[in-house]
Amino acid sequence: MADNSDSLAPATATRRPWLIGVVVALIVIIAVVVLAVVRPWQTGATSGQTRTFVIPSGAMENTLQTGDIIKVSEGTQFQRGDIVVFSDPGGWLAAPTSPDQQYLVKRVIGLPGDRVVCCSNGHLTINGILIDENSYLKEPSLPASAFQFDVTVPAGRFFVLGDNRNASADSRWHLCETSPDGLGMSGFIPMPDIVGPVQAVLSPLKNARSLATPTSVFAEVPSGVDPPPTVARVVVGVDGPNGVCHT
């Protein structure tokens, strides 16, 4: 499913002519506050650079709101539960009108080797452990996915989902697509495509805050298979967006 509704754009004036002035003003106004609460860069950062992006849709509600400006730490390590920005791995977005319109933002659920299954009593399981996502899902009373799937994440790739599950075209939507790498491979994000984790919301001021990893959600999840498979293992049940499929 190719759709530009989730396409992020860097927070620059080329996208919104008035925005650069707003961003500069915000940096001055909230510098003291934000610098005090932003999560420190994790060990392993390769560049130490940060980038800003504008949230274009409600796919990550209620964690991220449409119009939020987010701060991303480029090249920094991340873990299960972190929200990351990544470039389109191919086929997630309609043809962009500019190179800036090729980014998406989702939450990392599965690491290489992880088996992610939905659903057990409405919840995801990772490597056999049920996880409680109520702390960040927009609609925690609903099943974690509208359709069933069972995947094992291939080597060097990641399985990502939106917090607003019923309005997020995420990894699930691409599991039955064919690609040169194999069935379902386009649903898993290659490591080189990931810009980095989202560290904070910078504006609007009412939403400004740091974003912590929900480590307690994934604390009991064991490591996945080692070594991870080179090709994804995928099973999608009835009601999948592209029908039933399996590898």
3-state secondary structure at position 32: helix
Query: For residue 204, is the peptide bond before it cis, meaning its omega torsion is within 30 degrees of 0?
Result: yes
Residue-wise burial string across 124-142, b where 16 or more C-beta atoms lie within 10 A, e elsewhere: bbbbeeebebeebbbeeee
User: Which phi and psi angles does 95 have, rounded to 5°?
Assistant: -55, 120
- Looking at residue 202, what is its pLDDT? 97
List all residues 6 or more positions away from 85 whose beta carbon is below 8 Å from its beta carbon. 8, 51, 53, 70, 72, 103, 104, 105, 194, 195, 196, 198
* 35 membership: H or E segment, kind and range: helix 19-37
* 31 membership: H or E segment, kind and range: helix 19-37
Residue-wise burial string across 185-221, b where 16 or more C-beta atoms lie within 10 A, e elsewhere: bbbbbbeebbbbbbbbbbbeeebbeebebbeebbeeb
Among residues 94, 124, 90, which one has the least CA distance to residue 107? 124
Cα 30 to Cα 108: distance, rounded to the nearest angstrom: 28
Is the pTM higher than 0.85? The answer reads: no
Strands (DSSP E) contained in the chain are 9-10, 50-54, 69-73, 83-87, 103-110, 115-120, 123-126, 129-130, 149-152, 157-161, 189-190, 194-203, 209-210, 233-236, 245-246
- Looking at residue 96, what is its pLDDT? 66
Class of CATH domain 9-242:
mainly beta
pLDDT digits (tens, 9 = 90+) for 42-74: 323 344 699 999 999 999 999 999 999 999 999
pLDDT digits (tens, 9 = 90+) for 209-236: 999 999 999 999 999 999 999 999 999 9
pLDDT digits (tens, 9 = 90+) for 137-178: 999 999 999 999 999 999 999 999 999 999 999 999 999 999
Where does the pLDDT of residue 3 fall: very low under 50, low under 70, confident under 90, or very high at 90 and above?
A: low
Higher pLDDT among residues 28 and 210, named by residue: 210
Contact yes or no for 76/44 (Cβ under 8 A): yes
- Looking at residue 243, what is its pLDDT? 81
**Residue type (1 letter), 96:** P
The three-point CA angle 174-177-178 to 5° equals 140
